Amino acid sequence: MTAARSNANKLISAMVMRRMLIAGGKNIEVNRAQIDALNVFPVPDGDTGINMSLTMNSVIAGLNADNSTKMDILADIVSKCALKGARGNSGVILSQILKGFSIVIADKEDIDTRTFAQALKNGTELAYSAVSKPKEGTMLTVVRVVSDKALDICRYVGDFEDFLVKLIQCGEDILAQTPDMLDVLKKAGVVDSGGYGLVTLFKGMLAGFKNEEKDGAESGATQQNTMIVESKGFDDGVFIDYHSLDDIEFAYCTEFFVINLYKKTTLTNIDQMREYFCQIGDSVVVVGDLDMVKVHVHSNSPGLVLTHALKLGEIDRVKIENMLKQNRILKAKLEAERKNVGVLSVCSGEGFNSIFKDLLVDQVLSGGQTMNPSAEDIANAIKKINASNVIVLPNNKNIILAAEQSRALIENKDIYVINTKDIPMGIAAMLAYNAELPLPEILAEMNTAIKDYRSGSVTYAVRNSSVDTLKLKQGDKIGIDRNKIVCKGTKVNEVAMDLIDRLIRSDDEIVTLYYGADVTETEATELQQTLQDKYPDCEICMFYGGQPLYYYLFSIE
């Protein structure tokens, strides 16, 4: 690497910073639907992506209108345009992060990783000071942890690309923890939308630094965001806990700017206005200076809010939203879309998730052998189903009791547990499911479908042991008939053939194979063909289950 190239990787000029901010803003724009889909705090209004995007679009417009290559001019544009374009809590908080960041870089000709870290820390402090009652588990937490980490990373990482990559990883790590900090996120099964937006911004800035354009939205949540219930992608929306909507204390979301402040107005007056709004409402954000002030507040008296602001100057771009009306609309939608019967299935494996979705299961909860969900996990998944009656398919004998216990945690729904002891049994139950039938008939049909059901599995021994007449060594491939080990070997397909040979009957018509994460499609196809050649009167079906631990699961009918 040349000295010039090495130096370029260690310092950011105003031109590169401009490119990074524009790319960051564009990345939020193309991913705003994903960000909106996560929005449940403080109310499920789904506009975090839009608000952050509009804020960054204002910054981009300002940068495009001035081609200066001086850092101080760039910093001034970013600071002022971010505040002017700020929308909602998330947009205002983002504007303060950018303002604090801009203050530090304004007097620099070039920026190194240490300056970047200090600027981010300053932005964090300014953002926290702008919010009357900061909530942990939000975008504030994400930027705080990232900025603290940045100060550590810059001590040993001078290369900007490596530095930004590490910051993004840190952001994703703390983002994954946000549901543990805010119960509303945990109930909804999502990470914080504003925090996700910040990580999206950093990813765009990295692309901008590398001079790479990010054209399209990410295919889904980050790896750390996979706690979203697997049957719910961004296209399907996210769960809203409608019962919690009654808890909103303040009905009106009021936003506006105070401009042309009177000569007698002081910074103390602005602080006093913030304190007054905290007394009559919540979600208070009052930011700015004697040139312009941005206000956001939830209250029951928007008239008092505006009247008080008029004491400081003129008010402009007023927006008042009735959050109670929003709640009524959401509840009306809930009632209109409520079904009589819904189904929850517990399973593990990407393929099985898709199979259950195709069979019209309403929710798929990740779980199975070695990762049994708790009664609370099951109850939370049930709450996400908009139905008066919910049928639960545990699909594992160790999950049935937890499924039964989940009833005690659910109100306003009747829960019915079908005792499916493995995933193929759950699929058999769903094949018998007919939502058009009365509930008693649905349950009878599903229970009948699993009575004479036969299944098996192929896995491996985790330790040396003796089972009946079989002496097992760690790593041996083993065939299991329901709960009994009946054969062993060293090759997966040979053990699978041996097991099926033992279980198949002369009058059987269908053998269905589900191959797991550790089996290739080629290997599974070879087994399918071998079985078809040996049992020509049987239909041998094969599907990708993607399950861990088990090479094959299969059913015989």
Is the pLDDT at 19 greater than 70? The verdict is: yes
**CATH topology for 455-556?**
Hypothetical Protein Tm841; Chain: A;domain 3 (3.30.1180)
Q: What is the pTM of this model?
A: 0.53
The model's confidence at residue 214, banded by pLDDT at 50, 70 and 90, is low
Classify domain 3-231 at the CATH superfamily level. Answer: DhaL domain (1.25.40.340)
pLDDT of residue 225: 38
Q: What is the DSSP string of 233-258?
A: -GGG-----GGGGGG----EEEEEEE
The model's confidence at residue 469, banded by pLDDT at 50, 70 and 90, is confident
The model's confidence at residue 182, banded by pLDDT at 50, 70 and 90, is confident
Within 13 Å, how many C-alpha atoms sit on residue 151's CB side?
11
pLDDT of residue 433: 93
Average pLDDT over residues 305-319: 93
The chain-wide mean pLDDT, for the chain, equals 84
User: Could you tell me which CATH class the domain 338-449 is placed in?
Assistant: alpha beta
CA distances (Å), 105 to each of 255, 404, 428, 432, in order?
Answer: 29, 59, 63, 65
- Of residues 264 and 333, which shows the higher confidence score? 264
What would you measure as the largest C-alpha separation in the chain, in angstroms? 96
pLDDT of residue 370: 59
Question: What are the start-end ranges of the E strands in 173-263?
Answer: 252-259
- Of residues 327 and 155, which shows the higher confidence score? 155
pLDDT of residue 42: 44
Residue 414 identity: D
In tens, the pLDDT along 43-61 reads 444 578 888 898 899 899 9
Share of the chain above pLDDT 90, in %: 40
pLDDT of residue 535: 92
Can you tell me the distance from the alpha carbon of 172 to that of 298, in angstroms, rounded to the nearest whole number?
Answer: 30
In tens, the pLDDT along 479-496 reads 888 778 889 999 999 999
Can you tell me the distance from the alpha carbon of 531 to that of 496, in angstroms, rounded to the nearest whole number?
Answer: 10
In tens, the pLDDT along 386-408 reads 888 999 999 888 888 788 888 88
Average pLDDT over residues 182-209: 84
First to last CA, the chain: 65
Can you tell me the distance from the alpha carbon of 517 to that of 549, in angstroms, rounded to the nearest whole number?
Answer: 8
In tens, the pLDDT along 227-266 reads 333 333 333 344 444 444 455 678 898 999 999 999 999 9
Domain locations in the chain? 3-231, 246-327, 338-449, 455-556
Is the pLDDT at 360 greater than 60? The verdict is: yes
Q: Is 498 left (phi over 0), alpha (psi -120 to 50) or beta?
A: alpha
Is the pLDDT at 89 greater than 80? The verdict is: no
The model's confidence at residue 224, banded by pLDDT at 50, 70 and 90, is very low
Average pLDDT over residues 3-30: 82
Can you tell me the distance from the alpha carbon of 38 to that of 222, in angstroms, rounded to the nearest whole number?
Answer: 12
In tens, the pLDDT along 363-391 reads 898 876 657 777 878 888 898 888 889 99
The model's confidence at residue 226, banded by pLDDT at 50, 70 and 90, is very low
471 beta partners: 466
pLDDT of residue 166: 93
pLDDT of residue 240: 46
Average pLDDT over residues 332-361: 85
Average pLDDT over residues 431-453: 90
The model's confidence at residue 218, banded by pLDDT at 50, 70 and 90, is low
Burial track 313-348 (b if 16+ CB lie within 10 A, e otherwise): bebeeeeebebeebbeeeeeeeeeeeeebbbbbbbb
Q: Report the DSSP pairing between strands 484-489 and 363-366.
A: unpaired
pLDDT of residue 466: 76
Is the pLDDT at 300 greater than 70? The verdict is: yes
8 A C-beta contact, residue 136 and residue 179: no
Residue 528 identity: Q
**246-327 is classed in which CATH architecture?**
2-Layer Sandwich (3.30)
